[in-house]
């Protein structure tokens, strides 16, 4: 872990180049004054006192944010291997993966789905300074229909296996939202269609009725939390947008009507357009079921095309990777795909900073380089505006003013 600055210590970060994606500003030779974990000032004049952190040969930008991770999961434990995982093993995975994720430059993440509230325990341990990791929003168990993508469908009936977030009917789902919040959830996640990696579900099939989705969203919003829906198929996506979700995860087969609805309702899309390459190349060795590989072959390419269409339509697109399905710490691999499929490097960086901060309701906390916000900063060698892949090799990480990596 990095050095902890005492309350009176002032750090001056000398940035050779500073990129603030929110404003699209690129400035040379900037001095960022860091006090009490916050950015106190940004100036081209060198302040007279403070401990200098010399990043004069590097490009500095706000800490990256990922709207969709599973810190408690492992990339090599898919299919029936998932039966080995317990809330305890999930928590241990989380400790390891939170560290890896932070070191990769992701200073804030949203964990969408974990068993046994292992994600909540992890978030609280990070906040208490017990273990290093990113600032976390955590959902607890994902809410889903019986037999749906968010249920556990690997065992035959006599075992009566059921995932923690399973509920059917408007009042039952409201109760699940309340239960998740009772145990510490800071965001609500539900499954609105089948999925790739779940057994026996169909990607195109909607899960939950409009009535159930509306109940989840209404309850969550009334209690002050945002809602993320897992949805691949166009019907489930559109029903969820109409029900008022804040973000659609995957959004793989969103049709033009869905794009219009998203635009009208200000719904953010979080499209994990890298993970397909991992699933198709390494998924079988990682235990992914043949039926899931078959589903991925249908959905992967189309999702990238729909990402391009969504971007052209001017829809807010956050950076959501689904890391955990693939190896933690490789989150940034998705940037190159976002650029290949239509974003400028600046837009891709904005997606992973200010757009995601806005989605999280954290725009007053992080995601930008401006006074009063958390000192969440990363640095890379070279200019990511000309080579976005440089973000895969972050050499400096500061979170809340604490340096965790300085190579």
- The site for ligand ARG (CB under 6 A) is made up of 195-197, 250, 252, 272, 275-276, 296, 299-300, 303, 322, 325
Distance CA 183, CA 126 (A): 17
55/251 with CB nearer ligand ARG:
251
| Tokens read off for 244 | 């008022």
- Tell me the residue nearest to ligand ARG as measured from the CB: 195
Using the structure block, give the residue that is written with the tokens 């890391």.
Answer: 323
**CA nearest 383: which of 32, 158, 59?**
59
193/354 with CB nearer ligand ARG:
193
151/272 with CB nearer ligand ARG:
272
Who contacts 328 (Cβ-Cβ below 8 Å, separation ≥6)? 69, 71, 75, 97, 100, 101, 104
Distance CA 367, CA 371 (A): 12
343/380 with CB nearer ligand ARG:
343
Question: DSSP 3-state helix, strand, coil percentages of the chain (rounded to 5)?
Answer: 35, 25, 40
232/368 with CB nearer ligand ARG:
232
338/394 with CB nearer ligand ARG:
338
296/316 with CB nearer ligand ARG:
296
Work out whether the CA dihedral 196, 232, 341, 138 comes out positive or negative.
Answer: negative
**Smallest separation (angstroms) from ligand ARG to the CB of 23:** 31
Q: What backbone phi and psi angles, to 5 degrees, belong to 302?
A: -60, -35
Distance CA 237, CA 190 (A): 12
**Smallest separation (angstroms) from ligand ARG to the CB of 208:** 16
290/372 with CB nearer ligand ARG:
290
Three-state secondary structure string covering 15-37: EEEEEECCCCEEEEEEEEEEECC
Our measurement of the distance from residue 134's CA atom to the centroid of its chain's CA atoms, rounded to an integer in Å, reads 11
**Smallest separation (angstroms) from ligand ARG to the CB of 325:** 5
**Smallest separation (angstroms) from ligand ARG to the CB of 272:** 4
**Smallest separation (angstroms) from ligand ARG to the CB of 193:** 8
246/322 with CB nearer ligand ARG:
322
* DSSP letters for 210-228: HHHHHHHHHHHHHTT--EE
**Smallest separation (angstroms) from ligand ARG to the CB of 58:** 32
**Smallest separation (angstroms) from ligand ARG to the CB of 255:** 16
**Smallest separation (angstroms) from ligand ARG to the CB of 288:** 9
Distance CA 55, CA 382 (A): 11
**Smallest separation (angstroms) from ligand ARG to the CB of 316:** 18
User: Does residue 314 contact residue 264 with C-beta atoms inside 8 Å?
Assistant: no
Distances (CA, A) of 166 to 17, 58, 208, 314: 49, 48, 11, 35
**CA nearest 335: which of 272, 266, 401?**
272
């Amino acid at each position: 872990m990095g050095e902890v600055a005492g309350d009176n210590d002032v750090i001056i970060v000398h940035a050779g180049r500073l990129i603030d994606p929110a404003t699209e500003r690129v400035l040379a030779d900037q001095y960022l004054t860091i006090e009490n974990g916050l950015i106190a000032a940004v100036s081209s004049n060198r302040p007279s006192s403070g401990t200098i952190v010399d990043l004069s040969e590097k490009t500095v930008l706000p800490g990256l944010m990922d709207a969709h991770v599973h810190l408690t999961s492992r990339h090599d434990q898919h299919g029936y291997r998932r039966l080995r995982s317990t809330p305890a093993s999930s928590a241990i995975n989380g400790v390891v993966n939170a560290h890896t994720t932070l070191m990769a430059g992701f200073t804030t993440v949203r964990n969408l789905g974990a068993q046994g509230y292992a994600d909540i325990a992890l978030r609280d341990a990070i906040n208490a300074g017990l273990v290093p990791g990113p600032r976390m929003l955590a959902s607890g168990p994902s809410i889903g229909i019986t037999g749906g993508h968010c249920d556990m469908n690997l065992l035959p009936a006599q075992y009566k296996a059921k995932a923690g977030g399973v509920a059917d009917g408007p009042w039952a789902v409201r109760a699940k939202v309340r239960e998740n919040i009772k145990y510490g959830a800071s965001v609500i996640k539900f499954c609105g269609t089948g999925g790739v990696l779940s057994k026996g579900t169909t990607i195109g099939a909607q899960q939950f009725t409009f009535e159930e989705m509306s109940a989840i969203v209404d309850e969550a919003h009334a209690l002050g939390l945002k809602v993320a829906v897992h949805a691949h198929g166009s019907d489930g996506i559109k029903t969820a947008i109409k029900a008022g979700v804040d973000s659609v995860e995957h959004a793989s087969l969103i049709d033009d009507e869905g794009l219009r609805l998203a635009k009208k309702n200000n719904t953010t899309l979080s499209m994990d357009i890298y993970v397909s390459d991992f699933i198709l190349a390494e998924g079988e060795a990682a235990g992914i079921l043949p039926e899931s590989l078959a589903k991925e072959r249908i959905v992967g390419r189309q999702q990238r095309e729909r990402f391009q269409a969504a971007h052209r339509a001017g829809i807010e697109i956050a950076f959501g990777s689904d890391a955990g399905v693939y190896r933690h710490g490789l989150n940034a691999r998705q940037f190159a795909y976002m650029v290949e499929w239509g974003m400028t490097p600046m837009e891709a960086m904005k997606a992973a900073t200010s757009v995601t901060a806005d989605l999280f309701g954290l725009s007053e906390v992080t995601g930008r380089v401006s006074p009063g916000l958390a000192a969440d900063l990363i640095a890379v060698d070279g200019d990511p505006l000309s080579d976005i892949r440089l973000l895969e090799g972050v050499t400096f990480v500061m979170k809340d003013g604490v340096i965790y990596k300085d190579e």
